[in-house]
A and B are shown apart, each in its own frame.
Chain A
Amino acid sequence: MRVALEFFPVLEEWPLLLTGIAWTLLLTAASTFFGLLLGTVCAYLRTQGPEWCRPFIVGYVELIRNTPFIVQLFFIFFALPAAGIRLSAEVASVLAMVINLGAYSADIVRAGIQATPRGQIEAALSLSLTHRQVFTRVVLPPALQRVWPALVSQIIIVMLGSAVCGQISTEELSYAANLIQSRNFRAFEAFIVATVLYLVLSVFVRHFFQWFGRRFVFGASRG
Chain B
Amino acid sequence: MYLVRRVVEFSIWDILRNLLLAARWTIVLSLIAFVGGGLVGLGLLVVRTTQMRVLQRAVSIYVSLFQGTPLLMQLFLAYFGLALFGVETSAWTAAAIALTLYSSAFLCEIWHGCVQAIPKGQWEAAQSLALNFLEQLRFIVLPQAARIAVPPTVGFLVQVVKGTALASVIGFVELTKAGTMITNATFKPFVVFTCVGLLYFLICYPISAYARKLEGQLHVYSR
A68–B168 Cα gap in the complex (Å)?
12
- B65-88 residues with Cβ-Cβ distance < 8 A to A are 65, 68-74, 76-77, 80-81, 84-86
The residues of B that contact A70 with a CB separation of less than 8 Å are 165-166, 168-169, 176
Interface-lining segment among B37-45, B114-122, B130-138, B197-205: B197-205
A1–B81 Cα gap in the complex (Å)?
14
Contacts A69-B162, A78-B189, A188-B80 given; indicate if A202 touches B68 (C-beta within 8 A).
Answer: yes
Cβ A198 vs Cβ B70 within 8 A: yes
Cβ B197 vs Cβ A75 within 8 A: yes
B144 within 8 A of A: no
Which residues of A are interface residues toward B (Cβ below 8 A)?
1, 3, 62-63, 65-72, 74-75, 78-83, 156, 160-164, 167, 174, 177, 181, 187-188, 191-192, 194-195, 198-199, 202-203
A74–B69 Cα gap in the complex (Å)?
22
Of the candidates A3, A62, A83, A161, the one whose C-beta lies within 8 Å of that of B70 is A161
Of the candidates A63, A78, A191, A199, the one whose C-beta lies within 8 Å of that of B68 is A199
B188 within 8 A of A: yes
- What's the minimum C-beta distance from A179 to chain B, rounded to whole angstroms? 13
Cβ A67 vs Cβ B197 within 8 A: yes
B158 within 8 A of A: yes
The residues of B that contact A160 with a CB separation of less than 8 Å are 68-71
Contacts A1-B85, A195-B77 given; indicate if A63 touches B201 (C-beta within 8 A).
Answer: yes
Cβ B70 vs Cβ A163 within 8 A: yes
A156–B204 Cα gap in the complex (Å)?
22
Cβ A62 vs Cβ B85 within 8 A: no
Cβ B189 vs Cβ A198 within 8 A: no
- What's the minimum C-beta distance from B33 to chain A, rounded to whole angstroms? 14
Cβ B65 vs Cβ A1 within 8 A: no
Interface flags, B171-210, vs A, CB<8A=1, else 0: 0000010011001000011101110110011001100100
- What's the minimum C-beta distance from A189 to chain B, rounded to whole angstroms? 9
Cβ B73 vs Cβ A163 within 8 A: yes
A183–B148 Cα gap in the complex (Å)?
50
With A67-B201, A71-B165, A78-B189 given, can you name 16 additional A-B contacts, CB distance below 8 Å?
A1-B86, A3-B84, A63-B201, A67-B162, A68-B161, A71-B176, A75-B193, A79-B189, A80-B190, A82-B188, A160-B71, A174-B70, A181-B80, A188-B80, A195-B77, A199-B68
Interface flags, B47-69, vs A, CB<8A=1, else 0: 00000000000000000010011
Report the nearest B residue to A74, measured CB to CB.
B193
Cβ A82 vs Cβ B190 within 8 A: yes
The residues of B that contact A65 with a CB separation of less than 8 Å are 158, 204, 208
Cβ A174 vs Cβ B80 within 8 A: no
Report 16 cross-chain contacts, Cβ distance below 8 Å, ordered by A residue.
A66-B158, A66-B200, A66-B208, A67-B204, A70-B166, A70-B176, A74-B180, A74-B189, A78-B193, A160-B70, A161-B70, A164-B166, A177-B73, A181-B80, A192-B77, A194-B73
A9–B11 Cα gap in the complex (Å)?
49
Contacts A71-B196, A78-B193, A79-B193 given; indicate if A163 touches B201 (C-beta within 8 A).
Answer: no
- What's the minimum C-beta distance from B193 to chain A, rounded to whole angstroms? 4
- What's the minimum C-beta distance from A201 to chain B, rounded to whole angstroms? 9
Shortest 3 CB-CB contacts between residues of A and residues of B:
A68-B165, A163-B70, A66-B204
